[in-house]
Amino acid sequence: MVQLTLGTKRTALALYGVLLVLPTLVLGGLHWRQLVIDHETMLAVVPSDAQDATRRLRDAIKSSLKELVEREEARPFYEYRAAYFPPGNIGGEVNFLPSPLKVGPTPRGILGWFSYTAGDTTTGRLPRVILGSRQSGAKEEEIKNAITYAALDIQRSETRMGTMPSLFSRLFNTRDDSLTLPVLALNLADENDQGCVADELPVLRRLQHEKRPIYLSKFLLHFYRETDGTPRLVASREVTIDGDTRLSSASLCLAKLRSNVLIRQGFLIDPNWLFRELPAAKAASVLRLSQQFVPMDATADPLAANLESFSIHPVRDLGFSTKDPRNEVYGEIKVAVNVKELESRFRTQSVRFLGVAAMLIVSLATGLILLLRSVNRDLEAARRTENFVAAVTHELRTPVSAIKLYGEMLQDGWVDDPDKLKEYYRRIVRETGRLETLVENVLEKSQLGQRGTAPEPDDLNAVVESLASSLSSLAPDGVLDIAFEYGDDLPLVMLIPEGVRSIVSNLVENARKYARVPTDDPNAEPLLVKTHMLAGNVVLDVMDRGPGIPHSERTKIFDAFYRIGNEKTRTARGTGLGLHLVALQSAAMGARVAVLDRKGGGSVFRITFETARQG
């Protein structure tokens, strides 16, 4: 039996482990590992990702700037004035159109345009400044001054260095926008000198098929800071037009083209746009969660301070020339690695995983407990059935062999003594009675499950009294070992007389088996069957002075076929059905059964009945 118990338990546990615990652990472990690996991989790629993102951000800023510059590059040189003469034939009169720079909106990123002719000796001639139709109010004057200053600065440095940009421009990076001689001459004339231009119409018309090349250089970008530190971004290009002697006779207003002309024109880029607005806007679309945009002049971010970061230096990276090398690093913006989001995401995932793991552990533990309980229950049932089979076999074999023995002895005429004959007959009857009880017990149990006799109000004392004499007569060795005590004025209780009889006989029979009253001691206390009121209920007690029932066995003894101890070591005969029948009969009457310690030693089997309702 022990072997069976251990083996079955081990098999059940092994199956549980292999089929449920092991796969759960393996899957859980793999999932956790994947979680950690993913997190580490993500952390590992964060810096290179950030580096990539920095490159992308720089490229995005660069392409926006390039777009702006290319748009300006496509602009014909003659638009850099208040009014211009569009290419085409010259009719009866000369009509100048207002320049789109003057009347159109200033594009985002541009503060204004400038243009001047190199070597223009006209006294006090300042560079032409065009601001477009922007609505910037008070700032307008400041911007105008800045543009003038920038243009003059270029002019000054050119004079100082004595460069020959015309030659340089013509060789490299130039574009040829040929125009007819009159269109060129008109666009170089002073727009205010319309009268003079009108006088020259015949000359111009005559020359209107003469094409002249114009060389336009690319825009060069330059960065510098004013003495008060204000940043300035200038884009400038050169326009060179070769002089033409055919105009030597024309009046002064068209005379510029007599010799080579060099025009310097350009525009001022808005530093606030390039250093702040553009990077911030691009960062919003280019950077990811794990990358943080640190704008120019950002006050030290405590988070960014600990993190790796990658810089963009717009001046240097976007191709601005600068005289002061310190200016190369002006306007630095950064992309910092921000692992906070990743860490918090990992934390959330871990908490979620641990939650699921905890739930699984609870489920597995509950499953294990339920499994063990069920295995124990099944093993217990198997043990009881085994005990029952052993007990019934034993119970059957003993009386059957006794009856057979006595019957054979009588049949063979071995016994002559009339006393002995009587004794043998008595024994045969007793053993037959025992067999009958056994069969009845088994029958009673099987019938109790089906029968549906309802309890009725009855007098408990009367039912017990009707049993008293037969119970007394069954005393072993013919010595009276039982006493009855009846409570006075007991109310009627709900009972089935047959059930009460079965209960009392079983309990008394048990007491006689397991708590036998010693016949050799005249002072020995008899078994006591007592009815009385207790806490408002009618109870029936069967008391003995036997060994009592250990606490650990008290719930089990009422189970079917349960017997205390081991079948091999037990001396008293039985099938483990007696107390089970007591419990079943009690339940059928709505009564409760309990076993208690008796004061002074022994047990009390107590049946508490339901009092019958009045009326």
- Residues in the site for ligand ADP, rule: CB under 6 A? 510-511, 513-515, 544, 546-547, 549, 557, 563-564, 574-580, 603
Question: What's the min distance (Å) between Cβ of 565 and ligand ADP?
Answer: 6
Closer of 473 and 566 to ligand ADP (Cβ) = 566
Minimum distance from CB of 578 to ligand ADP (Å)? 2
Closest CA to 463 of 493, 433, 438, 483: 493
- C-alpha to C-alpha distances, 296 to 329, 330, 414, nearest whole angstrom: 11, 9, 128
Q: Which is nearer to ligand ADP, 64 or 603 (CB)?
A: 603
Minimum gap (Å) between residue 403 Cβ and ligand ADP: 21
> Quick one: 189 or 511, whose CB is closer to ligand ADP?
511
Decide whether 158 or 525 has the Cβ nearer to ligand ADP.
Answer: 525
Cβ closest to ligand ADP, residue 222 vs residue 563: 563
Rounded to an integer, what distance in angstroms lies between the CA atom of residue 352 and that of residue 368?
24
CB 34 within 8 A of CB 293: no
Which CB, 314 or 576, lies closer to ligand ADP? 576
Q: Which residues, in sequence order, are CB contacts of 478 under 8 Å at separation 6+?
A: none
Q: How far is C-alpha 36 from the geometric centre of its chain's CA atoms?
A: 14
Q: Which long-range contacts (CB under 8 A, 24 or more apart) does 483-488 make?
A: 483/526, 483/527, 483/528, 483/529, 484/528, 484/529, 484/530, 485/528, 485/529, 485/530, 485/531, 485/532, 486/461, 486/530, 486/531, 487/461, 487/530, 487/531, 487/532, 487/533, 487/538
Select 132 or 546, whichever has its Cβ closest to ligand ADP: 546
Report the residue number, 37 or 381, with the smaller CB distance to ligand ADP.
381
The least CB distance from residue 492 to ligand ADP, in Å, is 28
Cβ 546 to ligand ADP shortest distance, Å:
4
Nearest CA to 247 among 220, 210, 272, 281? Answer: 210
Min dist CB 581 to ligand ADP, Å, is 8
Q: How far is the CB of 2 from ligand ADP (least distance, A)?
A: 20
Integer angstrom CA distances of residue 577 from 557, 558, 589: 9, 8, 18
Distance CA 334, CA 310 (A): 5
Nearer to ligand ADP, 407 or 547 (CB): 547
Minimum distance from CB of 17 to ligand ADP (Å)? 37
Least CB distance to ligand ADP at residue 434 (A): 12
Min. distance of Cβ 498 from ligand ADP in angstroms? 18
- Radius of gyration for the alpha carbons in the chain, expressed in angstroms and rounded: 59
Nearer to ligand ADP by Cβ, of 201 and 382: the residue is 382
- Determine the Cα–Cα distance for residues 276 and 256; give it in Å rounded to an integer: 43
CB of 593 to ligand ADP, least distance (A): 12
Report the candidate in 235, 201, 236 with the shortest Cα–Cα distance to residue 93. 201
The tokens 């006050």 sit on which residue?
299
DSSP secondary structure of 365-430? HHHHHHHHHHHHHHHHHHHHHHHHHHHHHHHHHHHHHHHHHHHHHHHTT----HHHHHHHHHHHHH
The tokens describing 113, both together, are 């345009």
Give Cα 405 distance to the centre of its chain: 81
325 versus 550: smaller Cβ distance to ligand ADP: 550
User: Which residue is associated with the tokens 């310190």?
Assistant: 326
Beta-sheet pairing, 291-294 with 110-117: unpaired
Q: Where do the DSSP E strands lie in 473-598?
A: 482-485, 493-495, 527-534, 537-543, 592-597
CA separation for the pair 499, 495 (Å, rounded)? 7
Shortest spacing between CB 555 and ligand ADP, in angstroms: 12
Query: Which residue of the chain is nearest ligand ADP when measured via CB?
Result: 574
